[in-house]
Structure 1
Amino acid sequence: MNPVTAFTIIMLIWAVSDFVAKKTKSLVSSLLVASIIFLVGFKTNVFPEDLLTSSSLLALGQTVVGFIIVHIGTMISIDELKKQWKTVVIGVAAVVGIAAFMFLIGSLFLDQNYVIGAIGAVSGGTISVIIVQDAALASGLVMVAVFPVLIAAFQGLIGFPLTSLILRKEATRLKGEYRAGTLKVEKPEEHHEAEPKTILPKALQTTAGTLFVVGVVVMVAAYVNNITDGVLNKFVVALLLGILLRAFGVLKPNILSGIDAYGLMMLAILIIIFGPLATSSVDDLIALVGPLCIAFAVGVSGSVVFSGVMGKILGYSIPMSIAIGLTTLYGFPGTMILSQEAARSVGENEQEVAAIEGQILPKMIIAGFSTVTITSVVITSILAEFIH
């Protein structure tokens, strides 16, 4: 297919997907809409099988995955993680719960490869899906590569309404405490807008300079992966380097935000996950409906049980703990949107809304980082080595 035509078609698909997601307030995710469009297009032969490869986005996405992971690392503040350490622990417990339940219960119904794929997708986002896909495709397991894509596409449909109900229950509890005068209301910290600081010279803060620096970090991560024979996975190393280099002032927070190439890079890595859909048959996809239901039922149950128990141990309410665990199904910005909606739906005046949101929002934001961004990537990177 003509490269320009392929590129233009994909941009149209993503524009439509984003439009639907915004209109439904992310209840219907852009990933789900895009998955449906690609599936229908490929299976009806409206789209040629080489649509993704012809666009050059697939090759770009595979090149810049490491760049995006370093960027994600620079989004994480070690100081914030320390303040919300209980939330981090509950989030880690949720991902461990998903893995434990999938191996203990899911293995009774699913092959080990599908179990690992389910763990990566239910507990994480795009990066975890790509990690599973890389391992599956390297072993020639196309349907194992497709499986996490389907899970990721439907995560929001399950996670958003479920979390919304639970957070409203937590908001109602907090409103009662606020009216009784037992809720400790902390004044929001004043954040003064300032240019993020970095020790890098101005010449390396341009679009090209930034991409060069991040590219070097990705190369270091790949080198560490090679000399440890894969024991230290390149994606995990890239994430950790992003976190540490931000903490030491080498890289600015959100290092890629604002540079000219960031939006296209994000679109390119999202395109990666649709690759296996082009070569899978309709019968194969129908056969994955059962495993898909099992993955959600078992995985979400593991998250609920482990996060609920750990939260109880650490002094959090059960609803708040479960909500933290469910962030594996969507991450940011869903964590922010659901927190704000819960506070506004229960609070009856500005003071109540602010008090409730002040308790829920910080926990949910950090929860998304601790589950989707950190723990899922680490655990999936380890487990993906066992796909064969």
Structure 2
Amino acid sequence: MTPIYAAAIVLAFVALGELVSIWSKARVPSLLVAMLGVFIVAKAGIIPDSVVNDSTLLQAYTILSAPLLFHMGSIIPLNTLLKQWRSVLISVAGMAVAVGLLFAVVGPLFDFQTVIAGAGPLAGGIVATGLTTEGLTKAGVASTIVVLPALVLMLQSVPAMPMTNFLLRRFAIGVRDSGELTRLAAENQAAQEHQAKRKKLVNLPQDLVDNQLFVLFLVLVGGSLATFLGGITHIPSSIVALILGIVSTYFGFTPERTLEKANSFGLAMAAVIAVVMAPLLKATLADVIAAILPVLAILVVGGIGIMLGGFLATKLLKWRSALGMSVALTAMYGFPADYLLTNEVARSTGRDDEERKALLDVMLPPMLVGGFTSVSAGSVVIASILVSFI
């Protein structure tokens, strides 16, 4: 299929998801609609299974993935990030309890290889899935098990995103109606003003900050540096890019919200969504049917474990449980869903622009930090360790 046609089709499903999300006031997550919609239509033969590959959005992702993580590091000021240590602990607790439950429940029901196939992808994203699939393939395990990581990755957002949507809405309405949002917004405003007054090591001229092409160049340099450092240190480039984005923005080498400044964030988001869709279209109905029982077991038991671990950690840290469990659930979908879900809830529960911004400022930092902790780092560690036991 011609790339322009394929890209238009892929983005049509993304747009449909956005419309449904707006009409349902964020009760139906946009990514859920987009992914299930493109899967059903492709399997019905209306569009080719290769539509995502034909769109060349995956090629765009290979260029924009590291710059996008660099951009995410530029979103949250370092002072705010340091305040989110609770989010890190909650994410780790959710992953740990989930893996423990998978071994205790799914292992006896199926086998050790099934747990290994599902644990890493459940707690993270594409990198963990790739590591797990590669390890299973080299070990020569059965094809029905080799396909499990991709299926878990594809389906884990189906229960997790609506649950997160429900919990975040509950949290947002609670802080909004209790009056606590006013205090939280004031604290965030004071922190932002302090951040704005802080002297940076480098002060870019405003003309350069406002120049979209120059800012895009800076982001690509940051992504390139992250890729290079990741290659020589063997640390995932996504983590390196995130750290570089935080540090670079803190010292003033790049402006905050870099890709938005470069007016390139929408394209980068489309590329990431295409990456999420691509593995969904590669699975056959036969593969799905053969693996449906172990996948369901992994999703149910693992999802309960993530929520349980998040709940317990939240109680120990004296946070609101609805927000804490939402942070833990980011392990099951990560970025960009955590970003999109939080925006959807803030948009639908805020009664005016000021209230929407205040809600977003309260919810987005812990959600992003939780997602980065689990998807970018924690899941890779889990997958690497478990695969070594095959």
Q: How does the TM-score come out when normalised to structure 2?
A: 0.76
Q: Is the 8 A contact 1:26 1:156 kept in 2?
A: no
Which whole-Å CA distance do the structure 2 matches of 1:49 and 1:161 have between them? 32
* Of 334, 343, 348, the match for 2:341: 334
Q: Is 1:293 the equivalent of 2:293?
A: no
What whole-Å deviation, never above 9, does each CA across 1:200-248 have from its counterpart, x for those lacking one? Answer: 45457633322322222222222222223x2x11111111111111111
The 1:362–1:293 alpha-carbon spacing in structure 2 relative to 1, beyond 3 Å, is farther
Which structure 2 segments of 5+ residues have no match?
138-145
Q: Is 1:206 the equivalent of 2:211?
A: yes
Residue in structure 1 matched with residue 369 of structure 2 by the alignment: 370
Q: Is 1:115 the equivalent of 2:119?
A: yes
Residue in structure 1 matched with residue 153 of structure 2 by the alignment: 148
- What letter is aligned with 1:10? V
- Could you tell me how far 1:117 is from its partner in structure 2? 0.9
Q: Is 1:21 the equivalent of 2:21?
A: yes
- What letter is aligned with 1:157? P
Q: Give the SS at the match of 2:260.
A: coil
Q: Give the SS at the match of 1:367.
A: helix
Which whole-Å CA distance do the structure 1 matches of 2:172 and 2:107 have between them? 31
Which whole-Å CA distance do the structure 1 matches of 2:95 and 2:249 have between them? 25
Which whole-Å CA distance do the structure 2 matches of 1:90 and 1:343 have between them? 26
- What letter is aligned with 1:42? A
- What letter is aligned with 2:30? S
Q: Is the 8 A contact 1:84 1:363 kept in 2?
A: no
- What letter is aligned with 1:41? V
- Could you tell me how far 1:47 is from its partner in structure 2? 1.5
Q: Is 1:52 the equivalent of 2:52?
A: yes
- Could you tell me how far 1:304 is from its partner in structure 2? 3.4
What whole-Å deviation, never above 9, does each CA across 1:140-199 have from its counterpart, x for those lacking one? Answer: 65552242121124422222235545776x669x95x99xxxx99567236679899864
Which whole-Å CA distance do the structure 2 matches of 1:267 and 1:8 have between them? 11
Which whole-Å CA distance do the structure 1 matches of 2:277 and 2:382 have between them? 22
Q: Give the SS at the match of 2:257.
A: coil
- What letter is aligned with 1:44? A
The 1:280–1:259 alpha-carbon spacing in structure 2 relative to 1, beyond 3 Å, is same
Which whole-Å CA distance do the structure 1 matches of 2:309 and 2:90 have between them? 8
The 1:4–1:81 alpha-carbon spacing in structure 2 relative to 1, beyond 3 Å, is closer
Q: Is 1:225 the equivalent of 2:224?
A: no
Q: Is the 8 A contact 1:42 1:278 kept in 2?
A: yes
Q: Is the 8 A contact 2:330 2:370 kept in 1?
A: yes
- Could you tell me how far 1:16 is from its partner in structure 2? 1.5
The 1:236–1:257 alpha-carbon spacing in structure 2 relative to 1, beyond 3 Å, is same
- Could you tell me how far 1:270 is from its partner in structure 2? 1.1
Q: Is the 8 A contact 1:73 1:239 kept in 2?
A: yes
Q: How does the TM-score come out when normalised to structure 1?
A: 0.77
Which whole-Å CA distance do the structure 2 matches of 1:210 and 1:361 have between them? 25
Moved more, 295-304 or 276-285: 295-304
Q: Is the 8 A contact 2:167 2:323 kept in 1?
A: no
Please tell me the root mean square deviation across aligned C-alpha atoms, in Å.
3.9
What whole-Å deviation, never above 9, does each CA across 1:289-336 have from its counterpart, x for those lacking one? Answer: 434433343333333333333333334465664455445566335346
Q: Is the 8 A contact 1:160 1:338 kept in 2?
A: yes
- What letter is aligned with 1:130? I
Residue in structure 1 matched with residue 142 of structure 2 by the alignment: none
The 1:311–1:278 alpha-carbon spacing in structure 2 relative to 1, beyond 3 Å, is closer
> Identity, % of aligned pairs?
22
Moved more, 5-14 or 134-143: 134-143
The 1:209–1:160 alpha-carbon spacing in structure 2 relative to 1, beyond 3 Å, is same
Q: Is 1:35 the equivalent of 2:35?
A: yes
Whose helix proportion is higher, 1 or 2? Answer: 2
Q: Is the 8 A contact 1:69 1:235 kept in 2?
A: yes
Residue in structure 1 matched with residue 265 of structure 2 by the alignment: 262
- What letter is aligned with 2:381? I
Which whole-Å CA distance do the structure 1 matches of 2:43 and 2:258 have between them? 39
